[in-house]
Amino acid sequence: MQRYLIRRALVTIPILFGITVMSYFIMSLTPGDPVQMLINPGMSQADVEIKRRALGLDRPVHVRYAKWLNELVHGNLGYSYSTGAPVTKRVGERVAPTLTLTVSALVLSYLIAVPIGVVVATRRYTWIDYAATFFAFLGISLPTFFLGLAGIYVFALRLRWLPVGGTMTLGGEGGLLDLLLHLALPATVLAVAGAGALTRYVRSSMLEVLGQDFVRTARAKGLAQAVVLRRHALRNALIPVVTLAGLQIPALLGGAVITEQIFEWPGMGRLTIEAINQRDYPVLMGITLITALLVTLGNLLADITYSLVDPRIRYE
C-alpha cells in the first residue's frame, strides 16, 4: 500500500507538470493584452513599454514559462497583474470558501442519494421508483444556474427563509449559524445535480448486491429485512459508490464556478471569472494548478478509499 501510494504520488508530478505547460501556452495564445487592461488612457507609449517590461511580458513565452516554473519550485506563484498581490494570497484566501461549498455539497448529495437509492432498489417498478427516477433525471438535466435562480426566487425572495447570497450577514456577528444559513442554498443547488446521478448508481449497485447468494442466505437465516439491507446489502453496495466521491471533484469544482457566481460566494470560481476578464494570467495559472491538484488528489483518494472499504482490493 505504502509503495503504491508513493508510486501514485510520483506519477502525479509529470501530470501536473504537463498541466502547467499546457495551460501556460494556451494562455499565451489569448489575444487580449493584459497590459492594455492595466494602463490608463493617459499613459504614454514609453510608460506602457516600461509596464510591459516590469511584468516580463516582453520576453518570449518559453522564457516566461521557465521563469514561472522556477519560481513555483521555490513556492512562489507570482504576482497578480491587476492588484499586485501575491497569487498565493489571492488564490489562497479563496480556497477555503470553495472547499466549504464543494465538500458540503458532496456530503449533502450522498445524504440525499443513499437513502433514496436504497428505498428505490427495494421497491423496484413501484410509483416511488418512477418518481425517484423522474427527479433524478430532472436533477441531472436542470442547469445549475436555473436551480440557483429558482432557489433564490423561492427561498430568499418569496419565503425569505434564507439569504440571497454571500457568506455572512452584512454588519452581523457572523458565526457558524450564520454561515450555515448562507451555505444552505448554494450547497443544495450544487448537490442536486450530483445527487441525481448518484441515486441511479446506488440503485443499480443495491439491485446487483440484492441478487447475490449471500443476501439470500441472510434472508434464509430468518434475519429481518432491515438487518439484511443494512448489514449485508448496503455495506457491499456502497463500495463502488463511495469511490465515486473522489471522481466527482472535477464536476463539483466546475459547478462551483456557476454557483459561486449566482450566490456571490467568494471562492475560486468567482476568482476564475474575474481573472479571465482581467486577463490576469498569474492568478489563472494559480487557480489551474490548485484545481488540478485537487482533482488528482481526488483520484488518489478514490483509489485509497476503494482499498479501505473493500479489503479484497490490494494495490501492488
Partner 1 sequence: MRHRLAVVGTVALGLLAIMALAAPVLAPQSPTAIDPTTFQGRPSPAHLLGTDSVGRDVLSRLIYAARVSLSVGILAVTMYVVIGTSVGAVAGYYGGTVDLALSRIMDIMLSFPPLIIILFAVSVFGRPSLWNVIIVLGLLGWPAVARLVRGQVLALRQQEFVQAARAIGASDPAVVMRHLLPNAMAPVLVAATFGTANAILVEAALSFLGMGVQPPTPSWGNMLTDAQSLTVLEQMPWLTVGGLG
CA separation for the pair 229, 122 (Å, rounded): 9
Nearer to partner 1, 236 or 296 (CB): 296
Smallest separation, CB 81 to partner 1 (Å): 14
Torsional class of 86: left (φ above 0), alpha (ψ -120 to 50), beta (otherwise): beta
At 184, which amino acid appears?
A
Nearer to partner 1, 54 or 157 (CB): 157
- DSSP character string of 168-201: S-TTS--HHHHHHHHHHHHHHHHHHHHHHHHHHH
Contacts of residue 265, Cβ cutoff 8 Å, sequence gap at least 6:
97, 98, 101, 165, 166, 167, 186, 256, 259
Nearer to partner 1, 187 or 283 (CB): 283
Residues of the shown chain interacting with partner 1 in the complex, contacts defined by CB under 8 A: 14-16, 18-19, 22-23, 26-27, 29-32, 125, 129-130, 133, 137-138, 140-146, 149-150, 152-153, 157, 249-251, 253-255, 257-258, 261, 272-273, 276, 279, 284, 287-288, 291-292, 295-296, 299
The residue with cell 441525481 is: 196
Smallest separation, CB 87 to partner 1 (Å): 16
Smallest separation, CB 277 to partner 1 (Å): 8
Nearer to partner 1, 103 or 276 (CB): 276
SS3 253: helix
- DSSP character string of 21-41: HHHHHHHHH--S-HHHHHS-T
Smallest separation, CB 137 to partner 1 (Å): 5
Query: Residue 86 forms beta bridges with which residues?
Result: 79
Smallest separation, CB 133 to partner 1 (Å): 7
Nearer to partner 1, 191 or 287 (CB): 287
Nearer to partner 1, 218 or 294 (CB): 294
Smallest separation, CB 251 to partner 1 (Å): 7
Other residues' Cβ atoms within 10 Å of the Cβ of residue 46: 8
Q: What is the number of H-type helices and E-type strands within the chain?
A: 14, 0
